Amino acid sequence: MSSFRPALLALSAVAAIGLPLSGATAATQVLGLVASDGAPTPLTCSGGQCSAQFSTFCLQQSRPAPSRGDDYTVAAGGQLTLIARTGAGQTLRIPANGLLQIESVIGFTSVEIGLPKAKLAELGASEVAVEVGPAVSLLPLAAADDRNPQTEDELALATGPMRRAATAMFESPGTASDAARIATVLINALPAKDSESPEQRNGLWVAMLGSPAIVNATAGGREAAEQMYEACKIAIDSHSAYSLRNCLELRHADLLAETNHQFWKDSVGY
């Protein structure tokens, strides 16, 4: 398979649900952030930042999809919690909505959530994770020159009825939702920039079998995620992908874009 096929599939699906990715002057889509369901996501520290990737989905079909690096914030009623472990072994649970930086990664399908590494020293923490509460929506930060800003009615619809309707498809157990969760776990276990070693690549699935995302997944979800993993290994061996992480990111985006398309078809008939 060509290395461009997953990217084209993901981007074409993004465009089918939102407006074009470039040249948009309107506020971008409100996103749903997939809940942790008892399995917080560890942040990996590199340089001055600790971060991880999280699965998201589109809650506004008529708004433009975000570009990479667009800033988002947590909508009222949603809660992110920072779980910090201190050097003394104490676990701290800290409301984190105002502490974390949230940026889109691939369209409406993923965001990166980050915390300045300096904050760890302030907390006396040696490691941190982020727990996503139920029904969390993410709002695009308003731009001063926005020609078509979000209205209160739009935000109320997206973060209320549409967010509740999306729970069953994106967060309840199922083949697509579980596969997306597992893919995110695999992505976050790999180097963010450099290519992984062959040993890390070939041993990743076995190394992550104890993850709650895999342990608690449906059989169909585990099978679909493992197929994604194996296909990406083949893509690297055939030199049609340059890293396992990049390949999994694109396949994860493709999966969520297809799921989002089905959600809108079921919700509004197209």
pLDDT in tens, 121-145: 888 888 999 999 999 999 999 887 7
Q: Please tell me the pTM assigned to this model.
A: 0.89
Determine how β-strand 44-46 pairs with β-strand 80-86. Answer: unpaired
* pLDDT given for residue 217 in this prediction: 96
Rounded to an integer, the average pLDDT of 8-23 is 44
189 pLDDT higher than 90: yes
pLDDT in tens, 66-122: 999 999 999 999 999 999 998 888 899 999 998 999 999 999 999 999 999 998 888
Q: How many Cα atoms sit within 13 Å of 63 on the Cβ side? A: 26
Cβ neighbour number for residue 200 with a 10 Å cutoff: 14
Among the residue ranges 16-20, 60-64, 152-156, 173-177, the one predicted with the least confidence is 16-20
Work out the pLDDT band at 205, boundaries 50, 70, 90: very high
Long-range pairs for 73-76 at CB < 8 Å and ≥24 separation?
73/97, 73/102, 73/138, 73/139, 73/141, 74/33, 74/102, 74/136, 74/137, 74/138, 74/139, 75/30, 75/136, 75/137, 75/138, 75/139, 75/155, 75/159, 76/159
Q: What is the model's pLDDT at position 1?
A: 32
Q: What does the mean pLDDT of the chain come to?
A: 89
Instruction: Decide: 84 and 94 in contact? Cβ < 8 Å.
Output: yes
> Has residue 20 got a pLDDT over 70?
no
Over residues 29-48, mean pLDDT: 94
For the chain, give every domain's residue range. 4-268
User: Strands of 80-86's sheet, edge to edge?
Assistant: 41-42, 125-132, 80-86, 91-95
Lowest-confidence range among 18-27, 134-143, 256-265?
Answer: 18-27
Q: 154: pLDDT confidence band, cut at 50, 70 and 90?
A: very high
Tell me the CB-side half-sphere exposure of residue 229, using CA atoms within 13 A. 28
Burial (CB count within 10 angstroms: exposed 0-12, middle 13-18, buried 19+), residue 130: buried
The confidence score (pLDDT) of residue 42 equals 96
Integer Cα distance of 158 and 8 in angstroms:
27
Distance set, CA 261 to CA 31, 61, 169, 196, 266 (Å): 14, 9, 11, 32, 9
First-to-final CA distance of the chain: 29
Quick one: pLDDT at residue 6?
Answer: 44
Residue 2 has pLDDT above 60, yes or no: no
